[in-house]
Chain A
């Protein structure tokens, strides 16, 4: 008979009833631990979580009544309470085809409040586990004592280690089903240790338990007297959870860093910088440095609604004021003046891909790290890691749930630390620029090139000076449209008209770029993206030189056109959509390319076997079925000159 029949021990009930103030005082001083449980329902994971909730009295009588009824109806424990039903919404979700997800559960003891992230254990839910693990101080890796270390045990351990969880608990469960056999426990632990060593896990804590029977969960079990010998950990699971060091305590001992979330400026006399302290501690009078600007000052006040603080530590949300008026805004990091974090724009990172659509190397994504959001590209991975065998495999991209090591380049330098040193300044998410979905998560290993001491050469002749001499405002007219839509024709006409008006222009098209600068590129998706990236960079340099640049490329992907737009200063980029239906372009087929594409002689041809993503909001939209090339060119020049801001 399972221990469900026994009354759970509410050790605090007496105190609650007798002296609520004393009780509240105890609970006011509780700390918090977040942990993740790894394993599948078969390992007894839900049963374990259910028991923790039950034993800590987080299950109310009405919920318990429902649980008892459900247990009789669909439970797997005979007449006993099936704790798994309390938390296991997952089976139902699977049947209903709903996203299987991360569920958070709460329970508490006198010493701590616990937040448990509960995620499914199978390989197809790797991203869910990574998500749940990202905020955890500790991971409980569950093993069925009958089965021992399995592939999934190795996968869970690797993922927990990758995401930087320092406290690993090996919970050898279902000990009741192996007769509480010490030799079996030793064998499993030894087996696990050899694997843990191989991936660099230096330390873990092993416990023999039974979630169903309650052995070594809240009290030491009489069934495992051998567990109390000095060679073993010898304590219960809850005891361990209550006393293990939490990450925020460790963070407090590191150098001070606070990413600025918000500049608080209610009036001219107050300017405060609000944020969550990522590491270290801060006191009024401390020397600080704002990164990346490098400006220094002293902390004047630590402002909170409950009064100014004498000290604040990692994990607190505060507002700081400085002794001097120095520039500081969202995205900056306030750091200990003597030990500031580094700044760089190229990194090596571990990346976990979380979207159905695979990573496109070279495409621009938003990268959010701390409070910084920048445009970034990811190179083709150096390798991916097979999460079951730990083997490194060659790969060109990252699909859903894939984990790989790749280079990441940001369009401007960001303030960072290695993920191993700071989860806040080393962990980032990648966001698709079109769908706005979070498509990946990454952990920076190190910078490839230090930008710390590389400042932009302050040019004596500025871009404004270049433009002023030409008496024009630089601009990029970015033509996009299908092959044969009339881009080159109209672009040529536009350039002639501008030239006639005395404007300094340059036309970039396939002919003058593909044969020189980009002759190393083919027509694969990755190469086409790189082609456009280079064109955009060249266009940017030309605008710096004061030119009006006209580009005429199919540029089929929205994300690449957005990348080009991001490179060019605001207001200088004009997207010109030459809109010709495929049937019309194909009928024209000036160069005979459509015919070749249809017959399979050309691959990846836009409109045939490669998509064209039409602009959603181009600045100029030319419908070539209604307007002649000459009129279109006239219209474009008028628009460009209409928004003209002559440099005086």
Chain B
């Protein structure tokens, strides 16, 4: 008997293979856990890879202190379910200087996330870090390797990427160098949603529509998640039925108006929607990524 595996079965097997290769060849791996849906899938795959043992590495959340409250709740819950150690790192300098997304723009991302990540990796001496990036997210990621090398100073040399043939990954590196590994590189947004649906993977409730306090600002619908949100003159939080397609720092993440409150409805909306996933992120535009005027989100249908 021969059976043809489904696309999700093949993607799952590929990702598990990648995760096991890293653990077999790296000295001290870690999984970067951002609590979003991609992280949820990656964590689930890691648990499958080593079942019945828990994954033999910790989870690392590089925290900005500005994530949605619901994300912090799920983070704790998933650490308990997985039986993995959860490391939370907050850049002490960003903390001391009170860096925040309202006053500091791109410096916020740079200090909390980019610098914070480097500091955390150096502090613990991790030589391999799993990340949940996907190649379909944007044009530039289409070329990212699954194993991406970093120098001792975390530099990346795009001219010096290693060719990846078959499913053979070269994880060798000199002391001080490290690798970022993207086990779900070949997944699309729809694949991620379908996998969550099929495997009943816990995700942050913010992905589902609910009435939440919002303000409309710079063409984005922002959720007022706590009282640190400085309202501008004339702004008044309005209850809207919204959900999020991606999750990050709440003041930087745009919501969409929606009534999709179940996974199939979310998938339905994703399939029928006409704008790409990352459009809801201020961060991309900030980096000059899209460079086009933000369109107002249309409700579905």
Contacts and interface: CB of A to CB of B under 8 A. Distances in A.
Given A32-B10, A249-B2, A249-B4, A20 B265 contact: yes
Interface residues of B, number: 72
B9 A427 contact: no
A369 B265 CA distance: 45
A77 interface: no
Interface stretch (A259-267, A290-298, A387-395, A540-548): A259-267
Contact of A261 (B17, B140, B190): B17
B265 A441 contact: no
B166 A424 contact: yes
A150 interface: no
Interface in A506-531: none
A441 B173 contact: no
B136 interface: yes
Contacts of A105: 136, 142
Interface stretch (B91-99, B123-131, B234-242, B270-278): B270-278
13 contacts: A60-B276, A89-B140, A104-B185, A113-B7, A131-B164, A248-B10, A266-B53, A274-B20, A313-B3, A429-B165, A431-B170, A436-B173, A438-B162
Contacts of B161: 99, 101
B177 to A, nearest CB: 8
Interface stretch (B42-50, B62-70, B101-109, B217-225): B42-50
B5 interface: yes
A246 B4 CA distance: 8
Interface stretch (A315-323, A376-384, A463-471, A567-575): A315-323
A313 B268 contact: no
Interface stretch (A62-70, A219-227, A632-640): A62-70
A20 B267 contact: yes
A295 B5 CA distance: 31
B158 A281 contact: no
Nearest to B278: A62
3 tightest A-B CB contacts, nearest first:
A266-B53, A61-B274, A32-B7
Given A20-B265, A30-B7, A429-B170, A305 B47 contact: yes
Given A31-B5, A317-B17, A20 B188 contact: no
Interface of A: 12-13, 16-17, 20-21, 23-24, 27-32, 60-63, 65-66, 69, 89, 98-99, 101-106, 108, 112-113, 115, 127-128, 130-131, 134-135, 246, 248-249, 252-253, 261-262, 264-266, 270, 272, 274-276, 281, 303-306, 311, 313, 315-317, 319, 330, 354, 366, 368-369, 371, 423-424, 427-429, 431, 436-438, 441
Interface stretch (B31-39, B191-199, B207-215, B250-258): B191-199
A21 B264 contact: yes
A62 B138 CA distance: 12
Contact of A441 (B49, B165, B276, B301): B165
A315 B188 contact: no
A423 B6 contact: no
B198 A130 contact: no
Contacts of A12: 271
Nearest to B142: A103
A304 B173 CA distance: 32
A611 to B, nearest CB: 20
A131 B165 contact: yes
Contacts of B265: 20
Contact of A276 (B8, B17, B139, B142): B17
Given A30-B6, A105-B142, A317-B20, 14 more contacts: A28-B6, A61-B275, A104-B142, A108-B188, A115-B186, A130-B165, A249-B4, A252-B2, A304-B48, A313-B2, A319-B51, A438-B162, A438-B165, A441-B163
B287 interface: no
Nearest to A311: B1
A99 B165 contact: no
Contact of B170 (A113, A266, A438): A438
A119 to B, nearest CB: 10
Contacts of B16: 276, 317
A29 B165 CA distance: 27
B118 to A, nearest CB: 21
Contacts of A304: 48, 51
Contacts of A65: 292, 295
A438 B166 CA distance: 13
Contacts of B90: none
Contacts of B165: 130-131, 134-135, 427, 429, 438, 441
B230 interface: no
A305 B48 contact: yes
A363 B17 CA distance: 31
A330 B21 CA distance: 10
Contacts of B172: 366, 431, 436
A6 B193 CA distance: 30
B159 interface: yes
Contacts of B271: 12, 16, 23
A102 B158 CA distance: 12
B283 interface: no
A13 B160 CA distance: 43
A103 B158 CA distance: 13
Contact of B20 (A16, A101, A261): A261
Interface string B131-173: 0000110011011000000000000001111111111101011
A427 B6 CA distance: 25
Given A21-B264, A60-B275, A427-B168, A317 B12 contact: yes
